[in-house]
Amino acid sequence: MKKEMELYIHIPFCVRKCAYCDFLSFTADEQMQRDYVQALQKELDYYGEKYKDRVVSTIFVGGGTPSWLSETAMVAIFDTVYRNFSVSDHAEISIECNPGTVSDRKFAAYKSAGINRLSIGLQSAHDEELKLLGRIHTFDQFLKTYDMARHHGFSNINVDLMSSLPGQTARYFLDSLKKVVRLKPEHISAYSLIIEEGTPFYKIYHEDVQRRENGMQTTLLPSEEEEDLTTKLTRVFLQEEGYHWYEISNFAKPGKECRHNIGYWKRAEYLGVGLGAASLLDNVRYSNTTDIYQYLKNPGQEAPGEPLSRTAQMEEFMFLGLRMVDGFQRTEFSDAFGIEIEGIYGEVLHSLQKDGLLEKKEGRIRLTEKGIDVSNYALAQFLKSEG
């Protein structure tokens, strides 16, 4: 049997950069978009040859806003993929789209390209919040996009929402959530807003973040208590509605969990193409350049690889695996590393268990709900500290 591999394709372009976004994305004219697609094709050609013995199990086109590209561009990209790689018949093939950038023609093209999962960036069902975030669309535009997608027969749709927005109460976020659940999407990602350095939001809100971290009263952002309530209510509500809470920020109807993303957390092998994309192949991590001009000049050039030591592999196994609500089977660890997990992390597991942050049950190891709330603290324990 051929070895499996996931494929990630990065499209770094957006109509406009949102105020909170620190992803590798920016606006671009048609010329640059064309050049970029050509570069992607070159890179796909290169890696297609190199990994021709692999079978691609999932494809994820992320961004940026991949749906901003023209349908011809997207079809060209997928043609190149199919020409170079053997893609499994049951592959999960996702694309991220934003309301205001799609059309009937694009959806039809996606369908014909074999795309079978859409991830729609909504963020909020309230227009004033969308405006605050710097989004280019309204809730109404989202509804139209969603209907159109269903109309084209997309039966696996994710909707992204964002909580802990400035001034937002738990109740108000729940209202967004309810409006979305009514549409019965197969998957919902509910992220809390992270104020990232270098974004316009950082200048406005970072002092508040500092205050919140120190347990003090916030002025613009929701308080810690409100944030806490929001995540708790979200989990309860979505589970009542039949969604499976399977990762810190992800919920899905049973069987509709995103296979591509689970691959990241289970350390499956993946090839990333496009600007700044990362790959994990044979326990070597590669990262493409983040400089667009350099990328356009030299797209097929192999990115410098960082071989992961055994310790680094174990650390990643832990801090990624425990992001999943159901954690992992202890045998997954011993199969991967040839040693029982207690032999390496016995003490840490024990101390986290003692603090009620982790549990071992029926051969599985996972964080408790309390552990998930402070997961940075819990997961950091698995990382080595020098000296």
Partner 1 sequence: MSIDQSKIRNFCIIAHIDHGKSTLADRIIEKTGTLTSREMQAQVLDNMELERERGITIKSQAVRIIYKAKNGEEYIFNLIDTPGHVDFNYEVSRSLAACDGAILVVDAAQGVEAQTLANVYLALDHDLDVMPVINKIDLPSAMPDEVAQEIEDVIGIEAMDAPRISAKTGLNIDDVLEQIVEKIPAPQGDAKAPLKALIFDALYDSYKGVIVFCRIKEGTVKVGDKIKMMATGASSEVTEVGYFGAGQFIPCEELPAGMVGYLCASIKNVRDTRVGDTVTNADRPCKEALPGYKKVNPMVYCGVYPADSAKYPDLRDALEKLQINDASLHFEPETSLALGFGFRCGFLGLLHLEIIQERLEREFDLDLVTTAPSVIYRVHKTNGEMIELTNPSNLPDPSEIDYMEEPVVAAEIMVTKDYVGAIMTLCQERRGTYISMEYLDANRALLKYDLPLNEIIYDFFDALKSRSRGYASFDYELKGYQQSELVKLDILINKEQVDALSFIVFKDSAYERGRRMCERLKEEIPRHLFEIPIQAAVGGKVIARETVKAMRKDVLAKCYGGDITRKKKLLEKQKEGKKRMRQVGNVEIPQEAFMSVLKLDED
Binding site residues, partner 1, CB under 8 A? 8, 10, 24, 191-194, 213-215, 224-225, 227-228, 231, 248-249, 261, 264-265, 270, 272, 276-278, 280, 285, 287, 306, 315-316, 319-320, 323, 355, 357, 372-377, 379-381, 383, 385, 387
CB of 146 vs partner 1, minimal distance in Å: 22
Q: Are 191 and 165 a contacting pair, CB within 8 Å?
A: no
Report in angstroms how near the CB of residue 351 gets to partner 1 at its nearest: 11
In 3D space, the residue among 161, 162, 166, 249 whose CA is nearest the CA of residue 202 turns out to be: 166
* Contact call for residues 8 and 77 (beta carbons, < 8 A): no
Closer CB to partner 1, 70 or 249, in the complex: 249
Choice between 8 and 107, CB closer to partner 1? 8
Amino acid at 51: Y
DSSP state of 324: B
What is the rounded CA–CA span in Å between residue 127 and residue 259? 32
> Cα separation of 28 and 22, whole Å?
17
The tokens 């996702």 sit on which residue?
A: 94
Nearest CB to partner 1, comparing residues 110 and 319: 319
Residue (of 339, 375, 333, 343) closest to 358 by Cα position: 375
Q: Give 102 or 195: the residue with its C-beta nearer to partner 1.
A: 195
Amino acid at 278: A
Q: How far is the CB of 81 from partner 1 (least distance, A)?
A: 17
Closer to partner 1 at the Cβ: 106 or 212?
Answer: 212
Q: Looking at the chain, which runs of residues are DSSP E strands? A: 3-11, 54-63, 86-97, 117-123, 157-163, 187-192, 244-247, 250-252, 270-273, 278-281, 284-287, 305-307, 328-329, 358-361, 364-367
Q: Which is nearer to partner 1, 135 or 323 (CB)?
A: 323
CB of 365 to partner 1, least distance (A): 18
Task: Count Cα neighbours of 21 within 13 Å in the Cβ-side half-sphere.
Answer: 22
- Smallest distance from the beta carbon of 362 to partner 1, in angstroms? 26
| C-alpha span between 327 and 331 (Å, rounded) | 12
In the complex, minimum distance from the CB of residue 5 to partner 1, in angstroms, rounded to a whole number: 12
Q: How far is the CB of 105 from partner 1 (least distance, A)?
A: 29
Report in angstroms the alpha-carbon separations of 33 from 8, 12, 57, 65, 275: 18, 10, 27, 12, 12
Least distance between partner 1 and beta carbon 381 (Å): 8
Q: How far is the CB of 56 from partner 1 (least distance, A)?
A: 14
Both structure tokens of 48 = 């297609």
Nearest residue (CB) to partner 1, 60 versus 107: 60
Residues composing the chain: 387
- Our CB check for partner 1 shows the closer of 48 and 272 to be 272
Task: State which residue, 192 or 298, has the beta carbon closest to partner 1.
Answer: 192
CA dihedral for 174, 180, 186, 188, sign (positive or negative): negative
Do residues 40 and 305 lie in contact, with contact meaning Cβ atoms separated by under 8 Å?
Answer: no
Question: How many other CB atoms sit within 10 Å of the CB of residue 83?
Answer: 11
